[in-house]
């Protein structure tokens, strides 16, 4: 069920590989709803009763001249300080190293300002952290996710599984995350641009999730990609994300941003579009 509302305000290590049976067999039952709150662009907060996870939301530097939204100063400050919505923050995860998903300076700033938060980043993003001054001691709170094999880790009742989800030719490593909080599961694809065959090879085969978070363009008027979505995930709700702050010229033939969003939502049985910062939906 989806119920939208607004909230008020290691040393670097590799993960153990898991067999597909274990990956598919992790928690499938749940007792209560979990909040899914929009941060900015493709960034989201998954907020449980006692632990929460940010994916692709910790950013402070505009590297794209306003093409993609950043968190407001208030939202960023709450993330950095673990206050407000983020008071029980457990993990900060990044799908890939592009600046509209990952910000090394903001990551280092938060690491130095908080305790108890752990970080997962693609292996090819570690160099950017080091280049921005992350120390060896600080690096102990960061896990480099190897390109390819499935992996898993958990803390404070949060279970995180990682999958290789291609970003496309000549693009950086992209990690798909299946995050389970209080028994409710979410999959964030990152900037997906791939085939059914690649997803199958990564072990994503009818993978059960309560909410599938993915860029709005993947599968939009593309039957092959849409078939890949339906074969790869057994999803209840699709959460469409990564909308630009301003409509793009190509959207005019669909009636602008509103028309694009309406068209995509109609193509799924249960779809959620949230673009407002801090707006949450209950997922169970």
- Judge whether 26 lies within some domain: no
- Predicted TM-score of the model (pTM): 0.89
Total domains in the chain come to 1
pLDDT at 28: 40
Instruction: Supply the Cα-derived Rg of the chain in whole angstroms.
Output: 18
- Judge whether 23 lies within some domain: no
Q: Nearest Cα to 260, choosing from 272, 270, 245, 250?
A: 250
pLDDT tens profile 88-146: 999 999 999 999 999 999 999 999 999 999 999 999 999 999 999 999 999 999 999 99
pLDDT tens profile 4-46: 554 433 334 333 333 333 333 333 444 478 999 999 999 999 9
- Judge whether 61 lies within some domain: yes
Which whole number is the average pLDDT over 257-266?
94
Beta carbons of 59 and 100 less than 8 angstroms apart: yes
Beta carbons of 157 and 51 less than 8 angstroms apart: yes
Which whole number is the average pLDDT over 44-69?
96
| CATH assignment of the domain containing 244 | 3.60.15.10
Q: With residue 91 as reference, give the H or E element that holds it.
A: strand 89-93
- Judge whether 68 lies within some domain: yes
- Find the domain containing 228 and state its range: 2-18+32-283
Between the CA atoms of 201, 203, 204 and 208, what dihedral angle is there, to the nearest 10 degrees?
A: 170
- Judge whether 245 lies within some domain: yes
- Judge whether 253 lies within some domain: yes
Which distant-in-sequence residues (6+ apart) come within 8 Å of 200 by Cβ? 231, 232
Strand order across the beta sheet in which 184-188 lies: 151-155, 158-164, 175-181, 184-188, 207-215, 233-241, 271-273
Would the pLDDT of 2 be above 50?
yes
Beta carbons of 281 and 46 less than 8 angstroms apart: no
Q: Nearest Cα to 276, choosing from 250, 237, 241, 236?
A: 241
Helices (H) and strands (E) in the chain, counts: 8, 15
- Judge whether 277 lies within some domain: yes
User: 10: how many CB neighbours lie within 10 A of its CB?
Assistant: 13
Which whole number is the average pLDDT over 226-247?
96
Residues 90, 87: Cα–Cα separation, whole Å: 9
Beta carbons of 37 and 45 less than 8 angstroms apart: yes
Beta carbons of 53 and 233 less than 8 angstroms apart: no
Which distant-in-sequence residues (6+ apart) come within 8 Å of 95 by Cβ? 42, 55, 56, 101, 102, 122, 165, 174, 175, 176, 177, 188, 189, 190, 191
Q: Nearest Cα to 129, choosing from 101, 97, 151, 100?
A: 97
- Judge whether 225 lies within some domain: yes
Residues 189, 167: Cα–Cα separation, whole Å: 9
């Amino acid at each position: 069920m989806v119920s939208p509302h607004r909230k008020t305000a290691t040393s670097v290590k590799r993960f153990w590989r898991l067999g597909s049976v274990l990956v598919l067999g992790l928690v499938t039952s749940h007792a209560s709803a979990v909040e899914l709150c929009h941060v900015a662009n493709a960034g989201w907060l998954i907020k449980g009763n006692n632990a929460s996870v940010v994916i692709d939301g910790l950013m402070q530097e505009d590297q794209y001249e306003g093409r993609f939204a950043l968190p407001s100063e208030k939202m960023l400050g709450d993330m950095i300080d673990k206050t407000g919505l983020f008071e029980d923050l457990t993990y900060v995860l990044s799908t890939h190293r592009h600046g509209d998903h990952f910000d090394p300076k903001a990551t280092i700033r938060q690491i130095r300002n908080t305790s108890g938060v752990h970080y997962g980043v693609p292996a090819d993003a570690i160099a950017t952290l080091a280049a921005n001054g992350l120390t060896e001691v600080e690096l102990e709170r960061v896990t480099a996710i190897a390109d390819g094999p499935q992996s898993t880790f958990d803390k404070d009742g949060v279970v995180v599984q990682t999958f290789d989800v291609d970003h496309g030719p000549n693009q950086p490593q992209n990690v798909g995350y299946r995050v389970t909080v209080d028994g409710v599961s979410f999959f964030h694809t990152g900037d997906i641009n791939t085939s059914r065959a690649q997803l199958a090879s990564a072990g994503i085969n009818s993978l059960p999730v309560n909410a599938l978070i993915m860029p709005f363009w993947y599968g939009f008027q593309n039957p092959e990609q849409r078939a890949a979505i339906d074969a790869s995930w057994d999803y209840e709700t699709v959460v469409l994300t990564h909308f630009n702050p301003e409509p793009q010229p190509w959207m005019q033939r669909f009636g602008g941003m509103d028309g694009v969003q309406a068209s995509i939502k109609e193509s799924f049985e249960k779809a959620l579009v949230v673009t407002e910062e801090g707006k949450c939906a209950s997922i169970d």
